[in-house]
Amino acid sequence: MLELRPNCEFCDKDLPPTSNEAMICTYECTYCRDCVDQLENVCPNCGGGFVPRPIRPLKAWRDGVSLKHQPASTKRVHYKRERGELTSYVAKIRDIDPKDR
């Protein structure tokens, strides 16, 4: 199940579980749309692409299945590598379609 991380790993913008701004990669690295644009759709952690993060229903349309029953994470995650290396990293990968990376 997705953690629904509470922030952009790059700029630390709040991304509540209902946010349409949250983008994730296959490892659930979480970034806001603005940072994904700056990163040219290259995850700085794994090199994958991003997709919009799904929004977990607020209401339990089925018993026990909702944000209330499976709450979002409150643990903030931050990008751990040197930002200076990102330009060359992104340049190497950005022109390769995510499915071919």
Q: Give the three-state DSSP class for 34.
A: helix
pLDDT in tens, 16-26: 999 999 999 99
Question: pLDDT averaged over the chain?
Answer: 97
Distance set, CA 70 to CA 3, 48, 54 (Å): 9, 27, 14
In a domain, 101, yes or no: no
pTM for the full predicted model: 0.91
Read off the DSSP letter of residue 65: B
User: Has residue 14 been placed in a domain?
Assistant: no
Using one digit for the tens of pLDDT, what is the confidence trace for 81-99? 998 899 999 999 999 999 9
CB atoms within 10 A of CB 29: 19
According to DSSP, residue 61 is labeled: S
Expressed as residue numbers, the domain containing 70 is: 22-95
- Per-residue pLDDT band at 2 (split at 50, 70, 90): very high
Is 33 within a domain? yes
Tell me whether residue 51 is in a domain: yes
Residue 15 placed within a domain: no
- pLDDT score at 70: 97
Q: CB–CB of 16/37 below 8 Å?
A: no
